[in-house]
Structure 1
């Protein structure tokens, strides 16, 4: 009898050179998934993640992407197509994780139009039109995971503009699930709670008083870690989650219940 090796799945993760994107990439690599990673400026960090993925026995490619520049998305899609051909000899990938983002802490009264517009370009317009540009390269039966935030459910002063964008991402997820359903593409949102990363200047990780305060209002009694989110995204992309689509999954340890 002859046996064939299953074709590996390929995931494209935006903003995967650090933080939650990096941990998601490594969690997927451990599940046997190959990776296309994007970074904005730090190529060295991205290549370090590529090497970590390769050490886990998977293939990976890192490509530059400025999510705030939607005019560049067609050229980026062409780069993805070329990478698929050269590295995998395939025309399509299987999973898209819209992860890249920036933080902003400013009161509603002090938020500027410039800050608002930058958040909108990166967190809402970016995922909308990047996903659109990549649709021809996403395989039927594939999956998309968008990244929201617990701040779209509960409210803390200083995050109004950021949370508004994430609320839009959650609505977009439901529409994508509906419109891409005929292709068998599942689309879900992961909404992290407070996580110990350098996001937003690392305040959750480095401010002991804030860390303890958040832990005190979290059912599981601690602040989240990057692996908590990476594992959740990997679970949504695993075979057993194929009947889940159009959903918001909060990964917060039961924060602010």
Structure 2
């Protein structure tokens, strides 16, 4: 820690080893905040995120976290507290971005109990209870941002996403209620709903099946699918004080998908 990093606002962002999480982490760091990047299976990806932030003159560290294992959250909080003190000389975070997750694409008739439970653990229970675990560390006037999905919003429903969209829909509802419950501490809670976005989700689906891109792009107002940075900038805005009058909202960042 040096004088330039001491008492800097710090944001924790889960699932930041690639895609939207990495883009959001870089954009947040570009706005002068420190970033704690979490990862599960891809430590090398998290280190690349940290390296990109360092190369741009920002501050970041990486910590392991399995969002599906809520029993590990107390231990994660302890490791986070150590990193905060060591890197930034603080005991508080300004914001939490619940971004970790995985894609949909499992048809209703093929859905199993185990698969449905995995959606639940990662996409709804994990963010909910991680927020609870880290809430004492979030400063008054801070922010929570949840990554939801346009799949959970009214409009064109894509086959194979019922389980995924149900969990993301639950996260949107939880976002609205938490905005009310945490308003006494002036903590604002919002979610961002990406549309089709080029990420690693679905085992790099867009790289493996590039033939689907044109059809999805044609359904957006701008004639292209989203890039991670398109959504990352919206997330970064929502953790800054520029969004101080926004709470309880699910903001779609989809380039007008399905208009």
RMSD: 1.5
Alignment of 1:6-155 (within 5 A): 7-153=7-153, 154=155, 155=157
Q: Which runs of 5+ in 1 are unaligned?
A: none
Q: Deviations over 1:172-212 (max 9, x none)?
A: 00111000000010100000000011211222354333111
Q: CA offset at residue 76 of structure 1? A: 0.4
The 3 A distance-change label for structure 1 pair 75 and 217 is same
Contact 2:197 2:225 in 1 (8 A): yes
Q: Distance in 2 between matches of 1:251 and 1:207?
A: 23
The 3 A distance-change label for structure 1 pair 184 and 99 is same
Name the TM-score, length of structure 1 as normaliser.
Answer: 0.95
The 3 A distance-change label for structure 1 pair 250 and 55 is same
Q: Distance in 2 between matches of 1:113 and 1:41?
A: 23
- What SS is found at the alignment partner of 1:256? coil
Contact 1:195 1:205 in 2 (8 A): no
Contact 1:194 1:204 in 2 (8 A): no
Q: Distance in 1 between matches of 2:8 and 2:207?
A: 35
Q: CA offset at residue 9 of structure 1? A: 1.6
Q: Distance in 1 between matches of 2:112 and 2:249?
A: 32
Q: CA offset at residue 48 of structure 1? A: 1.8
Q: Which runs of 5+ in 2 are unaligned?
A: none
Contact 2:47 2:62 in 1 (8 A): yes
Name the TM-score, length of structure 2 as normaliser.
Answer: 0.94
The reply on whether 1:192 has 2:201 as its aligned counterpart is no
Q: Distance in 2 between matches of 1:196 and 1:78?
A: 34
